[in-house]
């Protein structure tokens, strides 16, 4: 099955043009009970075919349990973006990043490859000060136009400060987890399991919530 038509492929070629360094797309699938694992594999294979700087590595959640643990992957399909020297920034996608979420995936690739936008100074200082482990979960649906904005902001924080991990979670694929966090509106942002934000909040709201912890 092919996912991307010629038109989108051409657009993506241009979009990936500014990529500076290689990015490893570490995809974790599983053989049992995974409706979207195969689709995610094919989709990622197509994406990596668009630019040679995108390197796909496919793993199995069980067979490669050790790596999964190192990268803190708990579900499948899950994607971790690794930078130069296999550096793990804690940037994850849980579930196929299709629909609107293709945009946060693209921005993740560009950021990890080193061609993202510089964080405005007013935020850079506050981000640098984060000195405890922060785990950000951003729940999304694929039909939500303002979800990628929230995901990208969380990922940017992870990229800038290694104490921060940030994962996108597609609420329908991981419905149990969404139920656990009472997700009935997206984007829903949960920080360290306690602080909650609903909506595509500006970066200062993320930082306020982190500083409250």
Partner 1 sequence: MEFNLQTKPKAPVVTPETIYDVLIVGGGPAGLNAALYAKRKGLSVGILAERLGGQVLDTSSVENYLGFPSETGEGLMKKFQAHVEELKVPVKEHLQITGIETGRIKKIHTNIGEVFQAKAVILATGSKPRMLNVPGEKEFLGRGVAYCAICDGPLFAGMDVIVAGGGNSAVEAAIDLAKIANHVALVHRSQFRADQILVDQLRKKENVSIHLNTQIQSVEGEGLVSHINALDKESEEVVKIPGNGLFVEIGYLPNSGVFEDLVKQNGRGEIGVNARCETSQAGIFAAGDVTDMPYKQIVISAGEGAKAALTANEYINTLKEEE
Binding site for partner 1 (CB under 8 A): 3-4, 8, 11-12, 14-15, 17-18, 39, 43, 96, 98-100, 102-103, 106-107, 120-123, 141-149, 171-172, 178, 182-186, 188, 196, 198, 200, 202, 204
Q: Report the nearest approach of partner 1 to the CB of residue 161 (Å).
A: 18
For partner 1, which is the closer residue by CB, 29 or 71? 29
Q: 1, exposed or middle or buried, with CB in 10 Å at 0-12, 13-18, 19+?
A: exposed
**Torsional sign, CA 176, 183, 206, 15:** positive
Q: Report the nearest approach of partner 1 to the CB of residue 75 (Å).
A: 18
Q: Report the nearest approach of partner 1 to the CB of residue 202 (Å).
A: 6
CA distance 163 to 175: 27
CA distance 9 to 193: 38
Place of tokens 């940037």: 91
For partner 1, which is the closer residue by CB, 72 or 195? 195
Q: Report the nearest approach of partner 1 to the CB of residue 107 (Å).
A: 7
User: Residue-wise over 156-169: b if at least 16 C-beta within 10 A, else e?
Assistant: bbbbbbebbbbbbb
Q: Report the nearest approach of partner 1 to the CB of residue 14 (Å).
A: 4
- The answer to whether 112 and 192 have CB atoms below 8 angstroms apart is no
For partner 1, which is the closer residue by CB, 61 or 186? 186
- The answer to whether 13 and 50 have CB atoms below 8 angstroms apart is yes
Q: Two tokens at 167?
A: 């994962």
For partner 1, which is the closer residue by CB, 28 or 43? 43
For partner 1, which is the closer residue by CB, 160 or 200? 200
């Amino acid at each position: 099955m092919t996912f991307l038509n010629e038109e989108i492929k051409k657009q993506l070629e241009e979009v990936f043009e500014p990529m500076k360094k290689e990015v490893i797309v570490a995809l974790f699938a599983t053989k049992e009970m995974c409706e979207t694992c195969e689709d995610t594999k094919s989709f990622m294979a197509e994406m990596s075919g668009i630019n040679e700087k995108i390197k796909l590595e496919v793993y199995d959640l069980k067979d490669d349990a050790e790596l999964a643990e190192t990268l803190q992957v708990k579900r499948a399909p899950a994607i971790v973006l690794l930078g130069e020297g296999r550096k793990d920034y804690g940037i994850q996608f849980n579930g196929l990043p299709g629909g609107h979420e293709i945009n946060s995936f693209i921005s993740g690739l560009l950021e990890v490859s080193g061609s993202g936008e510089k964080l405005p100074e007013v935020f850079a200082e506050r981000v640098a000060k984060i000195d405890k482990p922060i785990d950000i979960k951003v729940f999304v649906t694929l039909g939500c136009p303002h979800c990628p904005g929230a995901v990208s902001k969380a990922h940017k924080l992870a990229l800038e400060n290694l104490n921060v991990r940030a994962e996108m979670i597609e609420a329908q694929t991981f419905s149990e987890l969404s139920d656990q966090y009472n997700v009935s509106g997206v984007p829903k942002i949960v920080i360290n399991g306690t602080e909650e934000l609903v909506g595509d909040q500006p970066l200062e709201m993320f930082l306020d919530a982190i500083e409250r912890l």
